[in-house]
């Protein structure tokens, strides 16, 4: 498989944080991690560990849970599940912490609202 299609690891080895890429040419940090910069096409990127915390940027409700975009403290937006399912608390700007969920099908990106 050409490197372009290489599937990159999403989580750190301990599973606690997300990985991203930072382009050595244009400097843009991006998620998911990539072998080719999505902005300038450069093929040299550094692996970076993303912030664990952020704020809800947008959300919608699925049947059993909420899903949405979270803007992490380092400015990168990540899409994931948002818990608990509490329509009265969930709002744009609510602080959340990455809490990956282990399932039979693998690890899922999940954010939990801070108390
Ligand atoms: Zn770039």
Q: How far apart are CA 16 and CA 3, in angstroms?
A: 26
Q: How far apart are CA 79 and CA 69, in angstroms?
A: 4
CB 85 within 8 A of CB 66: yes
Report how far ligand 1's centroid is from the alpha carbon of 85 (Å): 37
Report how far ligand 1's centroid is from the alpha carbon of 22 (Å): 8
Report how far ligand 1's centroid is from the alpha carbon of 30 (Å): 9
pLDDT tens column, 67-111: 999 999 999 999 999 999 999 999 999 999 999 999 998 899 999
Please give the full DSSP string across 13-24, using - where no structure is assigned. Answer: TTSSSBEEEEET
Structural domain boundaries in the chain: 1-50, 53-113
Report how far ligand 1's centroid is from the alpha carbon of 24 (Å): 7
pLDDT tens column, 58-72: 999 988 889 999 999
Report how far ligand 1's centroid is from the alpha carbon of 42 (Å): 5
Predicted local distance difference test score (pLDDT) of residue 6: 54
Report how far ligand 1's centroid is from the alpha carbon of 23 (Å): 5
* CATH number belonging to domain 53-113: 2.40.50
Predicted local distance difference test score (pLDDT) of residue 7: 64
Report how far ligand 1's centroid is from the alpha carbon of 33 (Å): 12
Predicted local distance difference test score (pLDDT) of residue 38: 95
User: Residue 17: is its pLDDT beyond 90?
Assistant: yes
């Amino acid at each position: 498989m050409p490197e372009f299609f290489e599937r990159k690891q999403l989580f750190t080895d301990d599973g606690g944080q997300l990985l991203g890429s930072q382009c050595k040419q244009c400097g843009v940090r991006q998620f998911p991690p990539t072998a080719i910069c999505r902005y300038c096409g450069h093929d040299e990127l550094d692996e970076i560990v993303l912030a664990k915390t952020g704020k809800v940027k947008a959300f919608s409700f699925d049947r059993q849970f909420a899903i949405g975009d979270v803007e992490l403290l380092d400015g990168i937006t990540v899409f994931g599940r948002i818990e608990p399912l509490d329509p009265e608390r969930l709002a744009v700007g609510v602080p959340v912490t990455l809490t990956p969920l282990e399932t039979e099908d693998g690890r899922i990106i999940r954010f939990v609202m801070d108390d």
